[in-house]
Structure 1
Amino acid sequence: MPGVVIVGTQWGDEAKGKITDFLAKDADCIVRYNGGANAGHTVVVDGKTYRFSLIPSGVLHGKRVYIGNGVVVDPGVLIEELENLRREGLQPDLHISDRAHVVFGFHKLEDGLQERVKGSLRAGTTRRGIGPTYSDKAARLGIRVADLLDEEALRSKISLLVDLKQKLFSRVYGEDVKLDKDGIIREAMRFGWEISSYVCDVSAEINEALDNGETVIFEGAQGTLLDIDHGVYPYGTSSNTIAGGACTGVGVGPKRIDRVIGVMKAYTS
């Protein structure tokens, strides 16, 4: 079964991480295809508990793990997860898509302001900036991982985005926020430097792995009923959580998927 997708069939928290961890032992690589640090996958190995929001849980088995283009990456969370693994003596074989979008602090601020003005229509977000980051992606304003490795492009794109956000905060939300443009650029460049060795064309590598007959697990986040198109809109998440999201979130054709495993709770809570 070379291409296996693991999805939640409800509203998330169905123990997808545990199932991924169980199957990862017999897989060659695991790839996340959607969501961001709003996910929470808990795995227990040898009595020790590990929690992941971005890095696929198969990393504990020494497997190649990938973050696909459909994921939005929070730099602080990713660095923290990497440092936690290193403290445990683990050197993750991590690969990050150059097309994945980056979450910034102003996205989290925007997330909170949006929830405040929505009133009864608020989605109950985690306020981790996921929705605003996907919004910028759709508006073709987002910052991608590849941009972090190009200082000139990064400065230009962040300058534009910060100017737009400041106008949005003051004129729409009535918040006089002064964003430190230079500080944001410096932090983004530092993050780019820290992850540069992990950045690659994930789509090409996963397709090559499948061509070679390797078993690839596509690890989903959240649950089917939170899907942006097929879930309980507008009270869901901002990405495609269904099995088909693996195709767009990694860059593989639908015929690459040989099996879909749906995880559900016996008792919905």
Structure 2
Amino acid sequence: MWKQFFRQKPILIISRCSISSLSNDLIRKRIIPYVDKTNYVNELSQTLPKLESYRRAAILLPIYYNEKTNRVEILVLQRSDKVRSHTGMIVFPGGICDLTDRDVIHTAQREAEEEIGLKSEHYSILGCLPPTIDSRAVVVTPVIALLHSPKFTDYCLAVDEIINAFYVDLEQFLYKKNNHKILDVGDHFVTHHFHIDKYHIWGITAYELITLATIVFQQLPEFPFFRHGVHFDLNRLSEQLKMHFQLYVSYEKKAELELQLNKIGGLK
């Protein structure tokens, strides 16, 4: 299965599209078909029991359509240099699931309110994308939220964890320019790195930004998303993400992979 996945013929890149017709309704309609309605982690646990032992986490992907600028923006945070994990990184609101959380959506909502004061009344939940996994072997579920107007900027930062919150333009994560780099990790994986203004955006944050931009704009990135030159396919994007997740979970040299990911994280 993996050989077939990584030997796909590269898909032709779609030229830059016009975003003149975007709206909240259109964004919602484009995202909904990619929402994971099957709870893939639980489904995969039936064939990969070791998944049950993995810790679970959730992140909130807060999208804002700016009618004044006709741009799609997404809210991200900068972690403090004093925290133990993901030190100084650009991240989405989110964290480890608590036993008292109803589900991963509740986890993402709770963490967003705790970290920056973003309450559920400020957005509508559209659903979850297929899961991914971080270098600590934590299963992470992305939860997509469509922010209401007016634009949320009344940040109440948990200063012991978060030192900044800001919006980034989503469309830029489809293009190479001079700020994008792909680094190989092991035999089957890559990490995407963007240098935007003074920020280094990489890891799961870059992974989800590229994925979300591909879905919202219905446009393929100018670069391959996966290892071995494999591009996204809009018709089977959800399947590709699930296969990529399963490959990571099945990867036998996890310790080696984690070491390489940590080394890459130190690159500036």
Scaled to the shorter chain, the TM-score interval is under 0.3
Q: TM-score, normalised by structure 2?
A: 0.28
Higher share in strand: 2
Of structures 1 and 2, the one with the larger relative CO (CA 8 A, separation 6+) is: 1
Q: TM-score, normalised by structure 1?
A: 0.28
